[in-house]
Amino acid sequence: MAYTYQELHKMTVAQLREVAKGIENDAVRGYTTMHKHELLPALCKVLGLETYEHHDVVGIDKARLKAQIQTLKAQRDAALAAGDREQLLEARHRIKRLKRKLRRSMV
């Protein structure tokens, strides 16, 4: 059976050991004494799964937002060099808002 990282992550140690029982590989050798934090990455390596979750951005244009953040960072640096506190705070606030918007749209 093909497993996903999410399915393996939700399994108990006993269930992970049952999965490892049917696999002949050096990475899972000694699976009976492994803990979950050791067994899960070993199983992912053997099964060819990535050990982290990918987050997709939904509903917004990620590239456009990141480009805006980069221009705002340049404005922020220029305001810092010029000593313009008002422009500095405005740029930092807008950067923070865009980053929060980006994070909220991740699924």
Beta partners for residue 57, in sequence order: 106
**Residue of 11, 34, 10, 31 lying closest to 21 (CA atoms):** 31
Q: What is the pLDDT of residue 1?
A: 74
Q: What is the pLDDT of residue 68?
A: 98
Mean pLDDT of the chain: 93
Q: What distance in Å separates the CA atoms of residue 35 and residue 14, rounded to the nearest whole number?
A: 10
Domain ranges of the chain: 5-47, 62-104
Q: SS3 helix, strand, coil % of the chain, rounded to 5?
A: 70, 0, 30
Q: What distance in Å separates the CA atoms of residue 37 and residue 16, rounded to the nearest whole number?
A: 11
Prediction pTM value: 0.60
pLDDT-derived band at 85, boundaries 50, 70, 90: very high
Q: Evaluate if residue 52 carries a pLDDT over 80.
A: no
